[in-house]
A and B are shown apart, each in its own frame.
Chain A
Amino acid sequence: AQSVAQPEDQVNVAEGNPLTVKCTYSVSGNPYLFWYVQYPNRGLQFLLKYITGDNLVKGSYGFEAEFNKSQTSFHLKKPSALVSDSALYFCAVRGTNAGKSTFGDGTTLTVKP
């Protein structure tokens, strides 16, 4: 069985500071890892993914994530947070032989001016 943990329900940062949203996973075989963002009253939007290759993945809106196989983590990062980054963030994992993804419970990011 595959699973995802987002250990923080809420992350608060000041605008201009770096942000990290944590994600750890458990899966059989090699993982496919994803980050999505959800703004109020909207569907989820894809941010970035790790399939294979470079452990540092760059995505939309200046976000990046680092795949760490030994720690089974895929933390989302951004060097300088914006107020407009405030949203709900979901990490998802899918095993190589699985057709469906498992989502974490989400982390609410609040960036204060």
Chain B
Amino acid sequence: DAEITQSPRHKITETGRQVTLACHQTWNHNNMFWYRQDLGHGLRLIHYSYGVQDTNKGEVSDGYSVSRSNTEDLPLTLESAASSQTSVYFCASSEHENEQFFGPGTRLTVL
């Protein structure tokens, strides 16, 4: 069955370190998204991609970057982790106007 996976599921890092969160989908979807979820803020869009070599900034993109070298993967990089980036991160994918399929999430703690 097709799926979307995220790794690691839990990560603890220190302020200033570079961190990369992986997202892999086997739906063959063109659209992929990264969100963060914090209490009181719901889901906030970080970056998104409509296809290979395409990336776009979302509403909270500062301090984050993505690259899309193939259809299946959209890794999210925190260039220099900050305590404000402690959050739960969700990756999602979709095709055209259809619903999004979400990964299980990565809980990131920045100390």
Contacts and interface: CB of A to CB of B under 8 A. Distances in A.
A46 B100 contact: yes
Contacts, number: 48
Interface residues of B, number: 22
A104 B41 CA distance: 9
A51 interface: yes
Contact of A90 (B42, B45, B50, B58): B42
Contact of B90 (A32, A43, A106): A43
Interface stretch (A10-18, A61-69, A95-103): A95-103
B31 interface: yes
Interface string B1-45: 000000000000000000000000000000101010000111101
Interface string A81-108: 0000000001000101001110111100
B104 interface: yes
Interface of B: 31, 33, 35, 40-43, 45, 48, 50, 58, 90, 92, 97-105
Interface of A: 32, 34, 36, 41-46, 49, 51, 90, 94, 96, 99-101, 103-106
Cβ-closest 5 pairs across A and B: A43-B102, A105-B42, A46-B99, A103-B43, A44-B102
